[in-house]
Amino acid sequence: MADDQPTWGDRVVAALLRGREASRRRNAGRRPGARVLTATVCAIAAFLVVLSTVNARGSDLRPARNTDLVSLVADQSRRNAELTRQVTDLRAQVDALSAAENASNGSDLSSQLQTQEQEAGLTAVTGPAVSVTLDDAPSSVQLSGVDADLLVVHQQDIQTVVNALWSGGAEAMTIQGQRVISTTGIKCVGNTVVLHGVPYAPPYVISAIGDQNRLEAALGGSTAVQIYRQYVDAYGLVYEEGREESVTFPAHEGSLDLQHARALGGSASPR
């Protein structure tokens, strides 16, 4: 990992700042009457806070509640990172034991296991790649009557690029430097995108190793990508596409568990 790569804390702070920026965009588009109402509500809330403070006489009315949201998110991110390292270490031990067992038995299971690991994304891979960068519209963009949600990147925008690259024959893929596998989920939580339990703020970088001509053709031929690029032209969002002659993707780290929905009183069903 490079020294200048953002830390877990940096990612969390960036994600929270993005939420505040989105809130500012929404407030900028409100009517004067709404702003007055908001100011009135804030004044009432401030009065209640002062009244509560006087009644509490300096004591905490709810001592058991941790109201530091930033600390909670940061703590959970660090826990996710630690659990990921533990899973990686355990997987390495299992692989070493399996290799030793196969060697002693003289079987061909070792090569089969290596092939399966490559297909599952559990080994590093190197090759030519195509990268796509998505980003929110600049904070200076203020369009009257335009929903602020149209000015930011959402999970479906990232999924659109991911699906196009897979259809173009991508052999391996990363998002924000994390290896994408069959169980990878891209989730939008508030104004951030969560990948493998870690919140990320834009810009979002999606890279795929494979035949560069096919990958670019798949992006160009995707109707969903074309629609996103219309928003780029209309509202100032960012879409940048480029080639990398040789890039190395890391092996996936973390759990491989597949989580799915189950109907009440019935069998498992796809989401």
3-class secondary-structure state, position 63:
coil
Cβ atoms 237, 158 nearer than 8 A:
no
For the stretch 190-249, pLDDT in tens is 677 888 778 888 999 999 999 999 999 999 999 999 999 999 999 999 999 999 999 999
Give the pLDDT confidence score for residue 270 in this predicted structure: 43
pLDDT for position 157: 94
| Secondary structure (DSSP) of 113-139 | HHHHHHHHT-S-EEEEEEEEEEEPPPT
Predicted confidence at residue 188, as pLDDT, reads 80
CB 232 within 8 A of CB 226: no
* Residue 39 CB neighbours (<10 A): 10
- Answer whether 251's CB lies under 8 Å from 124's CB: yes
CA 77 and chain centroid, separation: 13
pLDDT at 24: 64
Which of 135, 154, 134 has its CA nearest to residue 194?
154
Find, among 214, 111, 109, the residue nearest to 164 by Cα.
214
pLDDT below 70 — which residues of the chain?
Answer: 1-37, 39, 47, 49-74, 76-77, 81, 84, 87-88, 91-92, 94-121, 190, 254-271
- Residue-level pLDDT at 89: 72
Helix (H, G, I), strand (E, B) or coil at 1: coil
Letter string b/e over residues 212-221, b meaning 16 or more CB atoms within 10 A of that residue's CB: beebbebbee
